[in-house]
Amino acid sequence: MAATVHEDIELRAGDDWEIDGTLQDESGNALDITSATLEWMLRDNNGDIVLDGIHPTIAVVGPSTQGQVSITVPATMTVQLDPGRYTDAFRVTIVGHPAVTWVGQILVAANPWEPEPIT
């Protein structure tokens, strides 16, 4: 299954995040995610995992045959992210066959309420 590259997403550290998307099969049709295992992760510009699918909430929106999902990441998880460019990836495992279904860039703006470091 080929991964879809989503448009850049702009979010702010310290905010609750909601990332919505529709998973597609290799023909561009909505992916039936009935009985699928869904995982999402976020990597920094060094390739280190900074958020993974264990803690953000992944919800299927509407009928699972339509492939629509919503990822919710609470502010308590985003508050410590440094501003910059991150890469996210979504993986679906159906009948023991994992496949990355989307990847892309998330641009994280600075948390305006984070105190400046003491130098």
Residue 115, in any domain of the structure: no
Tell me, yes or no, whether 116 lies in a domain: no
Report the domain count for the chain: 1
CATH number for the domain including 70? 2.60.40.3350
What is the model's pTM?
0.86
Within a domain: 119: no
41 located within any domain: yes
* CA contacts within 13 A on the Cβ side of 111: 18
Residue environment code for 65-84, b if the CB has 16+ CB neighbours within 10 A, otherwise e: eebbbebebeeebbeebeee
Decide: 67 and 60 in contact? Cβ < 8 Å. no
Q: List the domain range (segments joined by +) for residue 91.
A: 4-109
117 pLDDT higher than 80: no
- Asked, for residue 37, whether it belongs to a domain, the answer is yes
For 43-85, the pLDDT digits (tens) are: 999 999 998 766 789 999 999 999 999 999 999 999 989 999 9
Look at residue 59 and tell me if it is in a domain.
yes
Q: What is the pLDDT of residues 5-47, one digit of tens each?
A: 899 999 999 999 999 999 988 888 899 999 999 999 999 999 9
- Find the mean pLDDT for residues 86-95: 92
Averaged confidence pLDDT in the chain: 89
| pLDDT for residue 87 | 96
